[in-house]
Amino acid sequence: MNEMFPISSETAQKVWDNFDRELIHKLKPLPEEERNDVRLEILSHLYESMANAPINASGDAQYHNEDVRLINAISNLGSPDEYLEPLIADILLYQKASKGNPVAIWNGLRNSAKKGLMHALATLVLGMGYFWVIMIFIMSLMHMVNPDVGIWFYPGGEVSLSFEAQPGATQWLTEWFSLVGIVGSALAYWGLSKLLSFFIAKIK
């Protein structure tokens, strides 16, 4: 990025490179595209701040000095932890939840639970959704070993998720239960994760 941000002073260049290295290190948790985007934006801010630093009325030489202007620009930007940590946490939570990461899902549910009745209701619906998705997924795997594990329909219209054969009931999709269950639960997991990421974006 040196061609993008030309610096003439050797000392200022070293300070700049150190700052950039710290930035790269701190942004490591982010996916490449987001990492490059945030890095470029911060460096662009820093360069603008350095280039446009006000010169005092007396025309003091130190205010013309690139080294001093860069240090002032870094200082004005604030501590990287102060702005990068919330930024990284925000981006990661959003991205991981939308990709179905269990930790991010848990954090999303926890944050969602903090926000009033509507969000508590959303938490309940999403929590129940994840519970049933996981149940169906486990039963689909078990069905491959024990064909009696599945969904059973009674003549009266009741439905039962059961781990053994139900007298008088008919099993749903005896042959295809595992395939439909695994594919269906994977799709539902993806859908719920998208819904959760939508809620996460809304509650901030």
Residue ranges in contact with another protein by CB under 8 A = 4-5, 37-38, 40-45, 47-49, 51-52, 76-80, 82-84, 86-87, 90-91, 94, 201-202, 204
Nearer to another protein, 35 or 143 (CB): 35
What's the closest the beta carbon of residue 104 comes to another protein, in angstroms? 14
Tokens of 137: 């997924």
> Look-up: residue for tokens 């990287």?
80
Nearer to another protein, 109 or 200 (CB): 200
Nearer to another protein, 46 or 133 (CB): 46
Tell me the C-alpha to C-alpha distance, in Å, between residue 15 and each of 18, 71, 148: 5, 8, 68
What's the closest the beta carbon of residue 118 comes to another protein, in angstroms? 17
Nearer to another protein, 27 or 126 (CB): 27
Q: What is the dihedral of CA 42, 44, 49, 51, to 10 degrees?
A: 150
